[in-house]
Structures are given as C-alpha cells and as structure tokens.
C-alpha cells in the first residue's frame, strides 16, 4: 500500500505540487483504505492526513494504511485542512479534476487560505490505478466468480411470463445472499425488442417466447467490481437472432484470442468491430468493445474506436461486443479479463453456448 502513495508522490514531483487533495471516493479508498462517504485525504511529500468528522473517526483509524494520520475536525474540514497546510508549509495543491465539483472547488479556494495555488491534475491520479497489483487481481477474480454463481442461479430461476423487474430483484437478492456489498451498477435486464437497448434497465416488461434477454450485471465484492453480460433466449429464437448471436460470439472469441500487451485500445476494438461489420452489422455495434474495471465499474483503459490507450500487463478490462437491431432485439456477450505475460487471462467462467429456456 505504501507503493501506491509512492506513485502518487512521484506524480506530485512531476506536476510540481507540494501536496494533493483527494475527495473522490474511489481514490480515497485506493490510497488510504478508508471506505466512508465523507473525508478529505491530503497527501504531501512525506506525510499524509485523512480528515474526517466524528462519525468516521473510529472507522478511519481501523482502516487507514500505515503512514496516514487520521484527523478529526474541530470547527470544519476547511479549518482543519488550513491548519495542516500552514504547519506543513504547503503552497501548491493538486486536485482530482474529474471528481471535484465546481462548488467544492470554490469553497476550497475561498476557505483554505494557506493554499497559494490549486492545480488541476485532471485524470492523472485516476491513471495510477490502471495497473492492478496481484492482490487487486485476486480480489477482482473473486468478484467475477461470484457473478458466475449468480448467473448459474438466475438461468434456473427465469421463466416465461416473468417481469424484467422480478429477474433484477432476484439477481440483486442473490448477490447479497452470497456476500456481495451490492450491485456495481443498476442491473440491465432487457427482453424482446427492448434487448436492442444497450442500457435497458429492468421494467414491467414480460418475458415471452422467442425473446432474447440481455442480462448485464455486476457485484461489489471486497471493494472491487465485477461486470458480465450473457444473452439467453426464452423459447426458440428466430433465425436472425441466432445469426446475430453467432456473429457476436465469433467477434468476442477473436478479440479474446487476438488482444495482446502493447496493442492500442483502438486496435483491440477493431478486431471485434471488423467481424461485426463484415457480417453486415456495422451500424448495429455502437458502443466500445470494453472498459477498465476495478474499484469503479468504469475505469481506464478504454477499448474503443477512439482509444489511444496502450494495453499493458496488469490491466483489467471487459470485452463486450454486441449487435442491436431496433424492433427485433440485441445480443451482447461480456467477459472480464486481465493481461498477464502479454496475453489475456479470462476471469469469467460462465458458458457462452446459446442458452434456450
């Protein structure tokens, strides 16, 4: 964990900052271990402080990594930070551009008078998390395996005549029963023509014979996210849906086989996109092939037609091609993977052969 702070401090030197102020929950957890909802983490060249209010003092002291001092506020967060900053002769403070709201930025600027300059570090703090260590990889594997168990259960649970919301409720009940904190995002359950909606969250829509059903869900387990998608069928699907399923499966298999370390996110995406396009569905695959997953459900790197990210060992991401035809339905198949020794290792074990209920 000290290595994480070391990387952050190296960034401070690179960006010519005396310290950085972390307010986003994902980076607070990553750099300090604290899981509460309210805090300010100030990391300087050789010291770090987690500033919390009375509600979280005991929790913070139990959770923070070695080398981080827990400070309980007196009057306010700002007065406590002011005191630390003045005592430590901190003048230039970096902040997380993607996480800090304009209103919070204004309050910090106005109330923490000891700061000479606030510097937007944009997404450079987030990108420290892009390479997962061995402990993170193991935690993510366990989260994904939990998702596999949930899928195995839900396939047996689903019956024609059920509503999408019933399936979503059973999914999320099962997650918690098996030990997950909860879903890593709002579960996507989309049946029939609604399955052509990439992010079709559950409704009162009833599952009917012939429907494709897209099941896209994930869990938070030991603070790490999982993400998977399978498309199943209620009764025998029509010929076009079967054809689409085969194309999506071939596109995903080609990507899983062809993605290697050193490849760009653009080239990784292109493997699957070219197969879908060559089969006549170029305009029916409108999202990216994949995204990073970790403490947050959407992280770096990006595997897309616009991505300039270079894929490296230790990166964890999804591989999820899809085809969506308005009025008919859609198919998406998604696994989570990690790059190890230059090649993909697949975390996901759920079957991908066509499932007809």
* Superfamily of domain 2-129 in the CATH hierarchy: Creatinase/prolidase N-terminal domain (3.40.350.10)
CATH 3.40.350.10 maps onto the chain at 2-129
How far is it, in rounded angstroms, from Cα 34 to Cα 44?
18
CATH class in words for 131-346: alpha beta
Whether residue 326 is predicted with pLDDT greater than 90 in this model: the reply is yes
The percentage of the chain sitting over the pLDDT mark of 90, rounded to a whole number, equals: 99
Compute the average pLDDT of residues 285-293. Answer: 98
Our CA dihedral for 8, 11, 12, 13, rounded to 10 degrees, sits at 130
Is the pLDDT assigned to residue 264 strictly greater than 80? yes
Q: What residues does CATH 3.90.230.10 cover in the chain?
A: 131-346
Query: For 242-260, what is the mean pLDDT?
Result: 98
Which pLDDT does position 295 carry in this prediction? 98
Q: pLDDT tens-digit profile of 131-168? A: 999 999 999 999 999 999 999 999 999 999 999 999 99
HEC profile of the chain: CHHHHHHHHHHHHHCCCCEEEECCHHHHHHHHCCCCCCCEEEEECCCEEEEECHHHHHHHHHHCCCCEEEEECCCCHHHHHHHHHHHCCCCEEEECCCCCCHHHHHHHHHHCCCCCEEEECCCCCHHHHHCCCHHHHHHHHHHHHHHHHHHHHHHHHCCCCCEHHHHHHHHHHHHHHCCCCEECCCCEEEEHHHHHCCCCECCCCECCCCEEEEEEECEEECCEECCEEEEEEECCCCHHHHHHHHHHHHHHHHHHHHCECCCEHHHHHHHHHHHHHHCCCHHHCCCCCEEECCCCCCEEEEECCCCCCECCCCCEEEECCEEEECCCEEEECEEEEEEECCEEEECCCCCCCCCEC
Residue 199 confidence (pLDDT): 95
Q: Is the pLDDT of residue 270 over 80?
A: yes
The pTM score is 0.96
Residue-averaged pLDDT of the chain = 97
pLDDT at 2: 82
pLDDT of residue 71: 98
> Higher pLDDT residue, 2 or 226?
226
């Amino acid at each position: 964990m000290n290595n994480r702070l070391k990387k952050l401090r190296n960034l401070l030197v690179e960006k010519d900052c005396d310290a950085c102020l972390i307010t986003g929950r994902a980076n607070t957890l990553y750099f300090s271990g604290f899981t509460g909802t309210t805090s300010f983490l100030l990391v300087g060249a050789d010291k770090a402080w987690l500033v919390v209010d009375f509600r979280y003092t005991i929790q913070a002291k139990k959770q923070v990594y070695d080398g981080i001092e827990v400070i309980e506020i007196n009057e306010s967060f700002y007065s406590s930070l002011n005191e630390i900053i003045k005592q430590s002769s901190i003048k230039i403070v970096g902040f997380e551009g993607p996480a800090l709201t304009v209103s919070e930025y204004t309050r910090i600027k106005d109330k923490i008078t000891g700061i000479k300059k606030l510097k937007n570090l944009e997404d450079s703090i987030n990108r420290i998390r892009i390479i997962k260590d061995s402990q993170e990889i193991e935690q993510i594997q366990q989260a994904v395996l939990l998702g596999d168990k949930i899928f195995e259960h839900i396939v047996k649970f689903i019956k024609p005549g059920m509503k999408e919301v019933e399936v979503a409720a059973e999914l999320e009940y099962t997650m918690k029963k098996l030990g997950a904190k909860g879903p890593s995002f709002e579960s996507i359950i989309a049946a029939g023509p609604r399955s052509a909606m990439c992010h079709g969250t559950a409704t009162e829509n009833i599952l009917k014979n012939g429907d494709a059903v897209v099941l896209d869900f994930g869990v938070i387990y030991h603070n790490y996210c999982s993400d998977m998608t399978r498309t199943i069928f209620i009764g025998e699907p029509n010929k076009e849906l079967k054809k689409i399923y085969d194309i999506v499966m071939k596109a995903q298999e080609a990507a899983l086989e062809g993605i290697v370390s050193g490849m760009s996110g653009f080239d990784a995406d292109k493997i699957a996109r070219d197969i879908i396009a060559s089969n006549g569905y170029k305009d029916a695959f409108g999202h990216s092939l994949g995204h990073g997953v970790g403490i947050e459900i959407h992280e770096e790197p990006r595997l897309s037609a616009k991505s300039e990210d270079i894929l490296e060992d230790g990166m964890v991401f999804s591989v999820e091609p899809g085809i969506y035809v308005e009025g008919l339905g859609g198919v998406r198949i998604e696994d989570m993977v990690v790059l190890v020794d230059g090649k993909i290792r697949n975390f996901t074990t759920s079957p991908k052969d066509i499932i007809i209920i």
